[in-house]
Amino acid sequence: MPRFRLRAAVLGTLVAAVPVAVGAAVLRRLRRLPPGGAPAPIAPDLAESAPATAPLDLNAATVEQLQALPGIGPARARRIVESREADGPFGSPDDLVDRGLLPASVLQQIREAVAAGP
């Protein structure tokens, strides 16, 4: 029976603490409102205003740069660089699949982030 009382006491403390925590969060937000209670205007989304980054050139990328792409670890990155050096430059990102360097599913994940320069 004492274990039940202990669990009930702990649970009661947690249940009592939830409204306090939620109330504190609401108060913090209210304190940030300007006079009059209207929220400040929302700034434009940074993603919309930021310039798009250029795709990574497969014909110039280093092993470290390739590893930063999703689905490409150290071994795949090395194989891509070695293939480029042995078989020549890539004509398009599809060459990664054609040469057996990546599965099509990984290429789909990185297609927008890579390009094959001249």
pLDDT of 8 over the 70 cut: no
Q: What would the pLDDT profile of 35-64 be if each residue is shown by its tens digit?
A: 666 655 555 554 455 456 889 999 999 999
Please tell me the predicted confidence (pLDDT) of residue 113: 96
Rounded to whole angstroms, how far apart are CA atoms 80 and 87?
Answer: 10
What are the φ and ψ backbone dihedral angles of 65, each rounded to 5 degrees? -65, -40
Residue 60: the pLDDT is: 96
pTM for this structure?
Answer: 0.57
**Listed residue (109, 101, 59) closest to 79, CA to CA:** 101
Q: How many CB atoms lie within 10 A of CB 61?
A: 20
**Dist. CA 98–CA 16, nearest whole Å:** 61
Share of the chain above pLDDT 70, in %: 56
